[in-house]
């Protein structure tokens, strides 16, 4: 058999492959974008949380104490959202225990002066914390 030279077959060439570096760069960019979005969402949530507390406090301050039943429900609901410390929870629980009488009746008498004073003490305590 004769040895035939073929000139159309070339030796393998070295190909520079940067795909690993491109992959690492894309992973770093993706993680950084996700972390930036996460931090932005956390800051936005915390800001909205503070704004909600201020809105809840405004609702409590505007609560019409002449309508005992409606005010008892709103004080119970928004008070639980606002009270966070032990002292605030204690004030709120004592207030809610007094308001139970006004909640489940169709015709209720007006709130007593002691109950109104307890409510104003609670609102002042919350207001000193948030405002």
Residue 9 and residue 94: Cα distance in Å, rounded?
Answer: 94
Given a contact cutoff of 8 angstroms between Cβ atoms, the answer to whether 100 and 60 are in contact is: no
When pLDDT is averaged across residues 42-64 and rounded to a whole number, the result is 82
Provide the pLDDT for residue 102. 84
When pLDDT is averaged across residues 51-79 and rounded to a whole number, the result is 88
The residue segments making up the domain with residue 85 are 51-130
Which position has the token pair 């609560």? 63
Listed range (9-13, 26-30, 104-108) with the worst mean pLDDT: 9-13
107 or 46, which is more confident: 107
Whether residue 33 is contained in a domain is answered as: no
Whether residue 18 is contained in a domain is answered as: no
Whether residue 10 is contained in a domain is answered as: no
Position 11 confidence tier, pLDDT thresholds 50, 70, 90: confident
Tally the domains of the chain.
1
Whether residue 66 is contained in a domain is answered as: yes
Whether residue 70 is contained in a domain is answered as: yes
- Write out pLDDT tens, residues 82-120: 888 899 899 999 999 988 888 888 888 888 899 999 999
When pLDDT is averaged across residues 67-88 and rounded to a whole number, the result is 89
Provide the pLDDT for residue 45. 77
Whether residue 30 is contained in a domain is answered as: no
Is residue 1 predicted with pLDDT exceeding 60?
Answer: no
Whether residue 90 is contained in a domain is answered as: yes
Dihedral pair phi/psi, residue 111, rounded to 5°: -65, 145
Whether residue 22 is contained in a domain is answered as: no
Nearest to 88 by CA among 130, 28, 39, 31: 130
Give the rounded distance of the alpha carbon of 83 from its chain centre: 15
Burial state string for 86-95 with b = 16 or more CB within 10 A and e = fewer than 16: eebeebbeeb
Provide the pLDDT for residue 7. 67
């Amino acid at each position: 058999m004769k040895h035939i030279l073929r000139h159309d077959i070339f030796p393998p060439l070295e190909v520079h492959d940067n795909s690993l570096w491109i992959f690492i760069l894309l992973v770093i960019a993706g993680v950084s974008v996700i972390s930036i979005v996460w931090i932005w969402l956390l800051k936005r949530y915390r800001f909205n949380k503070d704004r909600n507390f201020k809105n809840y406090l405004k609702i409590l301050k505007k609560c019409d104490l002449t309508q005992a039943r409606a005010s008892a429900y709103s004080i119970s609901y928004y008070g639980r959202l606002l009270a966070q410390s032990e002292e605030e929870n204690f004030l709120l629980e004592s207030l809610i225990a007094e308001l139970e009488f006004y909640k489940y009746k169709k015709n209720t008498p007006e709130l007593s002066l002691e109950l109104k004073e307890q409510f104003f003490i609670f609102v002042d305590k919350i207001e000193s914390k948030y405002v």
